[in-house]
Chains A and B, each alone.
Chain A
Amino acid sequence: MKARLSPKTFVFCAAMIAYAAIIVFPLYIIVATSFKPNAEVFRNTFGLPEGLYLGNYSSMMGRSHFGAYLLNSMIVVGISIAVVVSLSSLASFILAKHPFKGSRAVYAFFVAGLIIPIKLGTISILMMTIGLQWNDSLVSVIVVAIATEIPFGVFILTDFIRMIPEELSNAARIDWASEQGIFLRIILPLLSPPVAAVAIVTFIPVWNDFWFPLVLLKSDSVRTVPLATALLFGQFQTNYGFVFAALTMASLPVIAFYLAFSKYFVKGIAVGGLKG
């Protein structure tokens, strides 16, 4: 087939390439700068690194506690994804397939959590964590992350479960399956695309979250990656190569996770949400 390149297509492609450049260029700078010693950063700011300097990475892993920060972030993200996925799939199953008196209100409550920003309750959350003696520990950040992300999970999964035909469950009921059995053997296997969407939509904001770690965490040993990288910028002096090595390490998991799950991400949201 002959390639068709109308002016329309050309303009469209040019716009898309420009957009891709806007997205990719910052990533290029982050990675390129992380391989430069600090002196070179000022001399050769935006070019390719002159040599492959690994000192930033070695000092990051050795001198600072960056490994510990990475581990903290992974603990927060891992636990919150697991809890969000399991709790919201259970809740959505009941909301979609076993409506009870007031279930619409419960659903509306979840959706309200989607719209009203949790940041506004920061002070009450801070008071609560102090009251529960969770302040300055990862537990507080994890609990907040779970509470923030469950509404989206319920929103997506309820819509999706509603679309699963009732005949499937009825067929199992004829074979004397319990409701737990129906959930585990019939609904759950069908949920993998939306669950992947929920997982990735939980991953990105929780990994990037800066506000709640900043407010709730104090000591060095519990810092998450965004908080730690923000504190690398000194008031008078900043080791840019080092900072950008940290930024590379902080961005890698997100990009890897996104690329691995992007297919499910788009599919899950397209199926689940946004139906008006």
Chain B
Amino acid sequence: MDLPSRIQAGLSPACRSCLRDIPPGADSRLHEDELLRRLLNPIWGLFGSYPWLGSEKTALLTLSLAVSWQFIGESILFYAMGIDGIAPELLEAARMDGASWWQEIAHVIIPGILPVIGIVSLLIFKGDFTQFDIVYAMTTTSGNPAYKTDLLGSLFYRTAFASPVRGGWGLGMGAAVSTLICLVVSVGVVAWLYFFRIRNKERE
């Protein structure tokens, strides 16, 4: 993908090929989430003796960092492809007109990858509202501590499939929760479509 070759022509080929070979979150998901929980262990974890996942203040924040970690790979991949797709003539023209590095990014690259920003945001939006794997691995489906990390995905699983003792309500309630998630996701999708309609009309 020659990641940022058009922005950074000065990079050595070895460095470039090294960038290309990073698996973009190739096997994120469950495997490393368990690992994160272990890194965060207050007794022998890497980040001191603070219970990052056990405290009500930081649990959700820690969880969202792990979720970001999961999405970072594919987002970078999409952005890299988007930037690669910008016509080199455009960048060259900007350079000819004496655009600085920052101006080049702000006025050529970012407008050029707006559709990609839209797609990536939509994917993350959708992924977050159906997030389950990471919550399950890090804080279980009951949203420990004190429901602070209870996401819609874990609520769905708990209401639909857990035993009544653990907060299960049966399939009907589960279906209600999934309908709710569907509504939220549709709002996101509609917003995305609307945004793109407008963008495309502007272009025409």
Contact = CB atoms under 8 A, between A and B. Distances in A.
Contacts of B12: 3
A254 B27 contact: yes
Given A123-B178, A210-B30, A229-B30, A23 B22 contact: yes
B34 A233 contact: yes
Interface of B: 1, 4, 8, 10-12, 15, 18-23, 25-32, 34-36, 38-39, 44, 46, 69, 72-73, 76-78, 81-82, 84-85, 101, 115-116, 119, 122, 126, 130, 132-133, 136-137, 153, 156, 160-161, 171, 174-175, 178-179, 181-182, 185-186, 189, 196, 200
Interface string A1-45: 001111011001100100110111010011000000000001001
Given A8-B101, A120-B185, A270-B1, 9 more contacts: A16-B15, A116-B186, A211-B132, A226-B31, A247-B34, A251-B31, A255-B26, A255-B27, A266-B1
Contacts of A274: 78, 81-82, 85, 115-116, 119
B129 to A, nearest CB: 8
A255 B185 contact: no
Instruction: Please indicate which of the listed interface residues A42, A122, A208, A269 has the most CB atoms of chain B within 10 Å of its own CB.
Output: A122
A269 B85 CA distance: 11
Contacts of B69: 22
Interface in A65-101: none
Contact of B77 (A13, A259, A266): A266
A131 interface: no
B21 A270 contact: no
Nearest to A117: B130
Contact of A30 (B32, B77, B84, B153): B32
B133 A211 contact: yes
Contacts of A226: 29-31
Interface in A113-127: 115-117, 119-123, 126-127
Interface in A201-253: 204, 207-208, 210-211, 215, 226, 229-230, 233, 240, 243, 247, 250-251
A270 B81 contact: yes
Give 5 nearest A-B pairs by CB, closest first.
A276-B115, A254-B27, A208-B29, A266-B1, A26-B32
